[in-house]
Amino acid sequence: MPLLELRNLCIDFGSHRAVDAVSLSLEAGTTLCLVGESGCGKSVTALSIARLLPTPPARIRRGEILLDGHDVLTMSPGPLQQIRGGTVGYVFQEPGASLNPVMRIGAQILESLARHRPEVAHETEVIRLLTTVGIPAPETRLKAYPHQLSGGMQQRVMIAMALAPQPRLLIADEPTTALDVTVQAQIIELLKDLQRRLGMAILLITHNLGLVADIADRIGVMYAGQLVEEGPAAAVLRNPRHPYTRALLNSVPVPGRSGGRLETIAGSVPGLGQWPPGCRFEPRCPVARPECSRHPIDWRSDSDPNRGQTAAPHRDSHRVRCPHTED
């Protein structure tokens, strides 16, 4: 049984759909990367896993969110509080905005321990966690305020807070945003090392495809509220089947290549309530055909051509939401 499974998840904001029929699964000890431009529904999907979306305006209209086979959407407040920050740990975007500016970082980590692991809620465990995430001189850093740390150090503190309850699933939403390239690599290596040691699953959200190849076991590509391609990382990166996936990969700078302009994707992601009736990517697609705009597009899968959009994928399947993809 997968640790996490989303089945036909649909999320509305008011009268507009933000996430449409998303199905995916994640096994313990593996990493799934959700990629796509801003506004495609990645963060909304991730926040829904522990029901962190404000309701209203958000409303989960349909679907299931299964953790160890238990539907989060039917949980009462008590078990749900254990899920939040306990079974599921979050590393949010922009640590400078997520950390409490008037609390020392040691106190913030201690607060997480007191809620989920009160038996070890003491300074020694805080120091151990700061050491685990690679913060030097943790005995002095725990007394620092967030503004006294660099962006990379703040991100490491966020990871330490997320790890404090020993979660089985770590959700990292753009964990390297606004960090320089060297620090980005350090954060990704830290996540990989922690996963090897702790055996946790990781759901990584990013628009930086340069990071994905280093950490992902599977990749899900989102566009306009839908998954449009999903499969093993090596298969998606070597043989992208959806025009949007190919466009994303072609826009990544290649080290050592000089001259010429970088490729771009014309247009922008349609806003809520403005999705085309057929393929969502059709207005921007360089290989679109007239029939692409007429009807919603269902999945094609190399492992089971008849497997519908409401089912989570097979472990080794590579599926795409495009009828004209190259096999």
DSSP 123-177: HHHHHHHHHHTT-SSHHHHTT--GGGS-HHHHHHHHHHHHHTT--SEEEEESTTT
Give residue 31's pLDDT.
95
Give the SS3 label for residue 7: strand
**pLDDT digits 0-9 by tens, 241-256:** 999 999 999 888 777 6
Residue 303 main-chain phi, psi, to 5 deg: -95, -25
Cα(52)–Cα(136) distance, integer angstroms: 33
Give the SS3 label for residue 114: helix
Q: Is the pLDDT of residue 290 over 70?
A: yes
Phi and psi based region of residue 118 (left: phi greater than 0; alpha: psi -120 to 50; beta: remaining) = alpha
Residues near 75 by beta carbon (within 8 Å), at least 6 away in sequence: 51, 83
Cis peptide bond prior to 146, omega within 30° of 0: no
C-alpha dihedral sign at 113, 114, 117, 119: positive
Give the SS3 label for residue 59: strand
**What pLDDT band is residue 56 in, cutting at 50, 70 and 90?**
confident
Cα(61)–Cα(55) distance, integer angstroms: 12
Q: Which two tokens stand for residue 278?
A: 């057929």
Q: Is the pLDDT of residue 307 over 50?
A: no
CA 35 to chain centre: 8
Note the pTM of the prediction, 2 decimals. Answer: 0.89
**pLDDT digits 0-9 by tens, 183-192:** 778 888 888 8
Average pLDDT over residues 29-50: 94
CB 8 within 8 A of CB 23: yes
The pLDDT mean for the chain works out to 88
Give residue 316's pLDDT.
73
C-alpha dihedral sign at 238, 279, 174, 1: negative
Lateral strand order in the sheet of 88-91: 88-91, 169-173, 201-206, 31-35, 218-223, 226-232, 319-320, 300-301
The kind and range of the H/E element at 227 are strand 226-232
**Residue 66, beta-bridge partner list:** 5, 71
Residues near 124 by beta carbon (within 8 Å), at least 6 away in sequence: none
Nearest to 318 by CA among 28, 116, 327: 327
**pLDDT digits 0-9 by tens, 149-173:** 988 889 889 988 988 888 999 999 9
Nearest to 265 by CA among 322, 207, 210: 207
Cα(23)–Cα(319) distance, integer angstroms: 12
Cα angle, residue 324 at apex, residues 39 and 246 outer, rounded to 5°: 45
Give residue 6's pLDDT.
96
CB 320 within 8 A of CB 241: yes
Give residue 182's pLDDT.
79
Q: Rounded to 10 degrees, what is the CA torsion of 75, 81, 87, 90?
A: 120
Q: Is the pLDDT of residue 312 over 60?
A: no
Tokens 């990544």 appear where?
Answer: 252
CB 40 within 8 A of CB 269: yes
